[in-house]
Amino acid sequence: MTKSHAPFRADHVGSFLRPQVLVEAREKFNAGQLTREELTAIEDQAIRDLVAKQKELGLKNLTDGEFRRAYWHLDFFWGLNGVEHTQAQTGYVFNSTVTKADSAELSGKVSGENHPFVEHFKFLHSLADEEHVARQTIPAPAQLYFELIRDPQHVENLYSHYETKEELFADLAKAYKQVIDDLYAAGCRNLQLDDCTWGAIVDDQLLGRIAGDPSKAQELRDTLKQEFLAVNNLLLQQPWPEDLVINTHVCRGNFQSDWAAQGGYNTVADTLFAKEDVDGYYLEFDTERAGDFSPLAQLPEGKKVVLGLVTSKTPTLEDKEAIKQRIQQASEYVPLDNLYLSCQCGFASTEEGNKLTEEEQWNKIRLINEIAAEVWAEHK
Q: Is residue 44 assigned to a domain? A: no
pLDDT at 301: 96
- Kindly give the pairing relationship between strand 280-284 and strand 81-87: unpaired
Q: Is residue 35 assigned to a domain? A: no
- Across the chain, which has 380 residues, the per-10-residue mean pLDDT values are 72 98 97 97 98 97 98 98 95 93 96 98 96 97 96 86 96 98 98 97 93 92 97 97 96 97 97 98 98 98 97 98 98 98 98 98 98 82
Q: Is residue 336 assigned to a domain? A: yes
Q: How does DSSP assign 320-365, residue by residue? A: HHHHHHHHHHHTTTS-GGGEEEEESS-S-SBTT--SS-HHHHHHHH
Provide the domain count of the chain: 1
Q: Rounded to an integer, what distance in angstroms lies between the CA atom of residue 49 and that of residue 305?
A: 29
CB atoms within 10 A of CB 108: 10
Q: Is residue 28 assigned to a domain? A: no
Burial class (CB in 10 A: 0-12, 13-18, 19+), 15: buried
Q: Rounded to an integer, what distance in angstroms lies between the CA atom of residue 180 and that of residue 160?
A: 27
Q: Is residue 316 assigned to a domain? A: yes
CB 295 within 8 A of CB 273: yes
Task: Quote the domain boundaries for residue 372.
Answer: 10-21+52-377
Q: Is residue 319 assigned to a domain? A: yes
Q: Beta strands of the chain (E only): which ranges?
A: 61-62, 81-87, 102-111, 133-134, 136-139, 190-194, 245-250, 280-284, 304-310, 339-343
CATH number at residue 329: 3.20.20.210
Q: What is the pTM of this model?
A: 0.96
pLDDT at 2: 42
Q: Is residue 26 assigned to a domain? A: no
DSSP-derived 3-state class of residue 305:
strand
pLDDT at 378: 56
Q: Is residue 31 assigned to a domain? A: no
Q: Rounded to an integer, what distance in angstroms lies between the CA atom of residue 314 and that of residue 357?
A: 10
